[in-house]
């Protein structure tokens, strides 16, 4: 990990516009059943990601289409009493309930009555995004700082983030607004936060 630690002295970094998905072929995670460390491996095809996870400790196996991360139930319809107010709701759960609800109650601010809103299920991603993008497993590589949570998918991701954060000069080259560094939270880009965040990333690199 000396290569990662030495990047703390980077003077110039060129952002070539990589997307976060460029690092999603290998994601270091923790098993939701036994907490053992493991790796999600994935390959991109014309139909999307073909990902696989198999825990070496408890034999939990996840295949494309499986999702064990947070979910949200969303719905929108008129009030069942006054009919004049559209009611919308979005409720998140840390994981899919054993018996998923098909409807949730919502109080109308207009008439005060409650209406059962039909809901659909969708994947949810926490604001800190400390889950793998394929199955929603918790990431192995994450560190709390005073400013927020620093996380990465794998060693390549750690090194790329460390190079960017520690650089005194950052140059954008063909980078769109959807690129990884454009989407980083502002606190990771502030110069006065550089040292603490770089140290957190270096510690992540040392854990691999």
Question: Would you list the domain boundaries of the chain?
Answer: 2-67+128-207, 71-123
Question: pTM of the entire structure?
Answer: 0.85
Cβ contacts of residue 70 below 8 Å, gap of 6+?
A: 92, 93, 94, 95, 123, 124, 125, 126, 131, 136
pLDDT reported for residue 6? 45
Q: Closest Cα partner for 121 from 98, 100, 99, 94? A: 100
Residues (pLDDT < 50) of the chain are: 1-8
Tokens 């793998």, located at residue: 132
pLDDT reported for residue 7? 44
Measured distance CA(152)–CA(160) in Å, rounded = 10
pLDDT reported for residue 34? 96
- Cβ atoms of 187 and 147 within 8 Å: the answer is yes
pLDDT reported for residue 41? 98
pLDDT reported for residue 126? 77
């Amino acid at each position: 990990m000396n290569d990662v630690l030495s990047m703390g002295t980077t003077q110039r970094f060129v952002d070539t516009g990589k997307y976060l998905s460029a690092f999603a072929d290998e994601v270091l995670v923790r098993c939701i059943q036994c907490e053992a460390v493991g790796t999600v491996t994935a390959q991109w095809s014309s139909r999307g990601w073909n990902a696989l996870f198999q825990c070496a400790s408890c034999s939990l196996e996840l295949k494309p289409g499986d999702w064990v991360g947070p979910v949200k139930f969303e719905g929108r319809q008129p009030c069942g009493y006054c009919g004049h107010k559209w009611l919308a709701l979005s409720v998140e759960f840390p994981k899919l309930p054993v018996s998923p609800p098909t409807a949730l109650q919502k109080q109308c601010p207009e008439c005060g009555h409650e209406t059962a809103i039909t809901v659909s299920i969708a994947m949810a991603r926490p604001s800190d995004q400390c889950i793998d993008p394929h199955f929603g497993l918790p990431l192995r590589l994450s560190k709390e700082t005073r400013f927020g949570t620093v996380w990465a998918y794998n060693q390549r991701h750690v090194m790329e983030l460390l190079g960017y954060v520690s650089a005194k000069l950052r140059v954008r080259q063909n980078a769109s607004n959807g690129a990884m560094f454009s989407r980083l939270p502002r606190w990771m880009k502030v110069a006065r936060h550089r040292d603490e965040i770089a140290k957190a990333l270096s510690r992540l690199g040392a854990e691999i």
